[in-house]
Structure 1
Amino acid sequence: MAKSDYFPHPDNDLLVWHDRFKVNLAAKQAELGLSAEDIASVERDNLELHDRISAGSAASAAARQATAAKTASVNNVEGNTRALVRRVKAHPAYSDAMGNFLGVIGAEDTIKLSEAKPVLTGVDQTGGVVVLNFIKSKSDGINIYCQREGEPDFIFLARDTIPPYVDNRPLLVAGKPELRRYTAVYILKDAEVGQYSDELVVICAP
């Protein structure tokens, strides 16, 4: 029976394995005829491995925090802006000309939801976290479906009425990259309308 590869790739498994390899190899140095430089080389690799994995984990955590902070900021600014614009539009001095001057009148929405399909975009945040964005248009939101690597079909993931949607499910196999396919369809008064979006493929990094 064929054996699996001895060299692990998930970060935590690799660190544990290489730490053990370093110690046990040094214990067998004389018996295996290894030089001091051989042992020193392994020790340098071990130090580099710890440093790089630690830095990578810190960078991933920082990226997730930065994205969460940006999303919270955008949502806060949008809420403040919409509240102020409602006050402006209720003022007796307000006119459509002023609204166009301020840029607070949206373009004419000619989309027919019965024929439309959402456009999904997504950003991998590592560790299984994916941030999905879409434009609501005249809909009440979207139903999101997902198919993960190894699954036979798309399954319903969530209904979202205010973008972005954050898929924060953990990876199926910790430390292993995962392919996810997403699609979505508009909803109006609790019913799905229009066409399903083109598939969005996201590779989730550990």
Structure 2
Amino acid sequence: MSSHANAASSQADGVSSHANAASSQADGASSQADGASSQADGASSQADGASSQADGVSSHANAASSQADGASSQADGASSQADGASPQADGASSQANGVSSRQRRIISADGASSQADGASPQADAASSQADGASSQADGASSQANGASALLKVSHTWRAGLMALWNSGITWTSGALWGPAAPPSGPTPANTKPKRNTMPRDKFYPALLAEQPEWHNNLAAKFPLYGPALGFTPAQINNAVADNLYLAYALGDWITRVREFGPAATAALKDLRTGTGNDPFTFTAFTPPTLPTLPAGVTDVLPGALDRTFGLVQGIKGAPGYNEGMGLDMGIVGSEITPPPPGDVPPPQLTAVLLPGDDNQYVRLKFIKRGHEYVVIESRRAGGAWEQLVQSNKSPYIDERALLVPGQAEVREYRARFWDDGKPSSDWCGVLIVTVGP
């Protein structure tokens, strides 16, 4: 009997060892499950943070947050199951250690071993559930990160901006690389209002008799404005010399030459067919005295008039130049006063019928001939004249509808020039056009 008891005790000790091993395995499974739960909780926190960033952006971020919350719940449940498995394994070990030499204790030890064996699969299942929860949390975090990227794209798109190369937006995000700030808006090509000015004559006199005075005036006035316009003393002196010589040549010199012409012709006639005993002598030409050139200038080269015209362009393009200076120096022509009505021919007006939407249109063509505007009036059905347009661009198209839809009508047109806010010619002859539907 003692031998059976000893054998039973040995078996119980072996069962206890197996139970202890099972308990250790269950404890290890519980630790792994706890670690998996911690990782899942961390993943859930990251997913929750990503979800907060992406919250309100799109349904993707909301779905990611829901999956992450579900994954956290599954991980917490897995941790609870693993924690529950550990006390069962510990209880199994205690039962196995308390087995005595009696057969009844052997049976108890066998039951404890069975309980420990049952606890180990539960711990394994808990660990598997925790691993699955961690994987789901990782997937939720990835979806939340994607939602955060969508949030960046959405903010970028709503702000009207394009993504920069360093903004974290990838080529697959749908955003375009570009400037960080929107353009300030279209800039008008020219916002300066066009000034209505009277037409002017050419600044250089056409009559030879007026040209010397023009050159003398420029030679006297240019030194007054030249320094302020950025011209050097040498440039000013050379320009003065050019104009003094031009005034001399076009004035006194050419006058003296022309006066000498008849005397030279008479001398030549006397030489050829003259009579008398006195020796023949050529008539001497005495030119007028040359003008005094500015200091430092000893002579003038050919091309003085071309240089003067180039100087005028340079003066008008210089910073600080104004029209008052130009008028004083004579490099701006005088205004042309438009003639009173009746003194100039009226404009010529022609009409061509065009197909329209509901009825025919009338294209009226004119030529301004240097005037500011052309005023066109029309009347129909014996009514009063009414102004259609004051235009500076030809043609004008009359797109008016018929007085009676579907019924042809006769229209009369007339035009005249308009300058400086008032008429500058008489009306042209009345142009009669029949406009059909």
**TM-score per shorter chain, which class?**
0.3 to 0.5
Q: Indicate the structure (1 or 2) with the bigger Cα radius of gyration.
A: 2
Larger strand proportion, structure 1 or 2? 1
The one of the two structures with greater contact order (alpha-carbon pairs below 8 A, sep at least 6) is 1
TM-score, L = length of structure 2:
0.21
